[in-house]
Each structure stands twice: as C-alpha cells, then as structure tokens.
Amino acid sequence: MAKKRGRKSKRQYFTEDTELAIIEYLASDDQHLRNRIYNDRIHHSFYKLAENLIHTFKFYYTEVDDLEDLKHEVICFLLEKLHYFKAGKGKAFSYFSIVGKNYLILYNNKNYAKKKRKADPLEADVDDNILNEFDRQEVRNEKKEFLDMYIDHMDRKLLTSFKKSEEVMVADAILTVFRRREHLEIFNKKAIYIYIREITGMETTTITKVVKVMKNIFNDCYSEYLETGYIYKQ
C-alpha cells in the first residue's frame, strides 16, 4: 500500500526554533547575543511573515514604490512589539501574525483614505465598496473580539462619559446596535441615525454628539487593543 506523502507546512519559515529564538532573545541582556540571535534565527521568519501578510490579504495601498520597503516597515513594527510576547500565553506565530496584520490594516486604510481624497469620485466609490467587503470578510474575528471588550468598557463608563440622561439613552442604543453584530457599519451615519431615532426618539443633533464621543473612545481603545491585545483604560 502506497504511503501518503506528508504535506509540507505552509509556514515552514516560522518554526519552533523561531519561537525558541524569540524567547532566548527576550531573556538576554547581552546586545551582541541578541543581534546574533535576531540575524541568524528571527529576521528571515519576520521577513517571510510580512511578505505573506501583504500578499495574502492584498495590502496594496502603500506610500512606498517598492513592496520591499513596506516589508521592512512591518518588520520594524514587529520588533517594536516583540517585548509584548509572553511565552506560554500562545504561539509566537499567532501573536506576530495578528500584530503584523493589525499594523497593515491601519497602514492600508490610512493610505486608502489619502488615495480616496485624490481619486475620481466614481472610482473611489467602487474602491470603497471593495475595501468594505474585504473589511467584513477578513477582519471580522479580530473586530468581534475587540468589540466585546469595547462594549464591556462602555457599559462601565456610560454614566461618566455622558452627563445627560438622553445622551446615556442614545449611547446605550448604539451599544445595542453593536451587540446585534451591525458594528461594522456603526459609524455609517445614514445607517444608524434612523434606527437610533426610532428606539430613542432623540434628535439627530443629540445622536451626532454621542456618536462623536463614542467614536473617539472607540478609536483610543482600538489603538490600545492593537498594541497590547487588551483594553486597560479604566
């Protein structure tokens, strides 16, 4: 009976030795040793990870002419966040994949916004639809995890974030929209204002004010989540 050929790992570039090297790197105070560990056992893995993330998720809205430069930017960001990795709390590959992907999401969206301001309105609208579809399909899991944390955070902070009872009512209604998994369109004003007006009876000016406050808190919390994986704000 013929033996089945073993499948090659799709990520042989990021091996158990890579994870051990990262642990050794973090445990050492000797800069020369750290440089050697990084150059010999980590750099190639980070390079291939950056390359795969860019092409797998098509992060092609870039300020640089050469994707090699973008790979270098991702590697630098991974190095900045390397000290957050804790051995025993998950695999290094998963951690650095999320860190790199989150960086590229922010980078891609920032540069897309610049392109959209300069683009022909019709072309930009088509691109916007494509980007939104990508956002829904590829980032849903990460946003769902964050959103659960954000909802808990806002539940605790409603009365300190908003002083007026009608503002608290609107904010709670918006959180209800989040809970119903419509969160990816929460800041599409036309989509939420009618719904919020229906369940609160509040004027658009009040809703606009609350949305602005919640969006600022959302952005602050999301930035913290991307860096640490948690929301520590009290």
Q: What is the pLDDT of residue 185?
A: 45
Of the listed ranges 10-14, 88-92, 202-206, the least confidently predicted one is: 10-14
Q: What is the DSSP string of the chain?
A: -PPPPPPPPTTTTS-HHHHHHHHHHHH---HHHHHHHIIIIIHHHHHHHHHHHHHHTT----SSSSHHHHHHHHHHHHHHTGGG--TTSS-HHHHHHHHHHHHHHHHHHHHHHHHHHHS-HHHHHHHHHHHHHHHHHHSHHHHHHHHHHHHHHHHHHHHHH--SHHHHHHHHHHHHHHHTT-GGGTT-HHHHHHHHHHHH---HHHHHHHHHHHHHHHHHHHHHHHHHSS----
Predicted confidence (pLDDT) at residue 22 exceeds the cutoff of 90 = yes
Please tell me the pTM assigned to this model: 0.49
Model pLDDT for residues 52-83, shown as the tens digit of each residue:
999 888 888 777 778 888 999 999 999 999 99
Model pLDDT for residues 163-212, shown as the tens digit of each residue:
899 999 988 888 877 777 544 444 455 556 676 777 788 887 888 888 88
For the chain, the structural domain boundaries read: 16-138, 140-228
